[in-house]
Amino acid sequence: MLNIFNSCQKIKSLYTPKIIAEVNNEYIKLVKINGNKVPWHNHKNEDELFFIIEGSLLMEIENKPSFKMQKGDLFVVTKGLNHKVSSQKECTIMLIESKSTLHTGNVISKITKSIESQKK
Amino acid sequence: MLNIFNSCQKIKSLYTPKIIAEVNNEYIKLVKINGNKVPWHNHKNEDELFFIIEGSLLMEIENKPSFKMQKGDLFVVTKGLNHKVSSQKECTIMLIESKSTLHTGNVISKITKSIESQKK
C-alpha cells in the first residue's frame, strides 16, 4: 500500500513521470510539471487519464477550446487527439496510461523519459 | 471534465459503484460504503485498484494480515486474491476495474449491481 501524498512529496524532478502502481494493462503515474515544456503530442492507440492532485493545469486539445483543470478534476484525452499540457506554477498530476504508452507520444523532446526510468 | 469531489457529493446510495470515466479497457468508478455488506469475493482475471478519497477502509485479503486504508492510500488487489472491504463509517473509494470486472466477482449478494446500473 502507498499513500499518494507521501509519494508526491518524494518527487523532486519535474516532467519525470513516476510509476507508482499497475492495474491490469495500465500504469498509474505521478508527475509534477511547472511551465511549458511538454510538447504537443498524441497517443495513437491509447487513452490517457489526467487527475489533478495539486495545483492547476492548462489542457490544450487541437481544434478545441483550452481549459484549466484544478485539484480533483479528471479528464480523459481519448486516443489520437493532439494535446499539450502546461502550468504557471507547480502542478501535480496522477496519470493513467497503458503500459505501451510513450508519455510524449512519438515526439522525442528534452523531457522525454523511457518507461524504465519512470519505474525508478 | 468532471470534478471528483462534486461527483462524490452526488452519490447518495451506498454500495453502488458509479462509473465516472473510462480509459482504455478500464472503468473509473466511485463508490461509498458504510458497514460490512461487501461479501468475500475475487476477480479471477482482473486486478482491482482501491484509492481512498474520504474516510477509512478495512482491507482484508485471504491469508494475509488485514490493514486499514486512509485518505490518499492506494492499493491494488491483484487478480485471483480473495478479498473483502468494510468500514465503520462512510468511506468514499475510487476504483479502477477492467470493463469486464463484476464488482463482487462471481459472488451474487444483496449489494451486487450490474455494469449497466453502474453507468446511470
Render pLDDT for B28-75 as a digit per residue (tens, 0 to 9). 999 999 999 999 999 999 999 999 999 999 999 999 999 999 999 999
Render pLDDT for A57-69 as a digit per residue (tens, 0 to 9). 999 999 999 999 9
Residue B9 burial class via C-beta count within 10 angstroms: exposed 0-12, middle 13-18, buried 19 and up:
exposed
ipTM of the complex: 0.91
- Would an 8 Å CB–CB cutoff place B63 in contact with chain A? no
Q: What is the pTM of this model?
A: 0.93
- Would an 8 Å CB–CB cutoff place A73 in contact with chain B? yes
- Identify residue B28 by its one-letter amino acid code: I
Grid coordinates 510513450 are at which residue?
A102
**Domain spanning B4-118 has what CATH number?**
2.60.120.10
Q: What is the dihedral of CA B68, B72, B76, B82, to 10 degrees?
A: 30
Say whether domain A4-119 belongs to CATH 1.25.40.10.
no
List of chain B residues whose C-beta atoms are within 8 Å of the C-beta of residue A73: 1-4
List of chain B residues whose C-beta atoms are within 8 Å of the C-beta of residue A5: 72
Q: What integer pLDDT is reported at residue A71 of this predicted model?
A: 97
Domain boundaries, chain B: 4-118
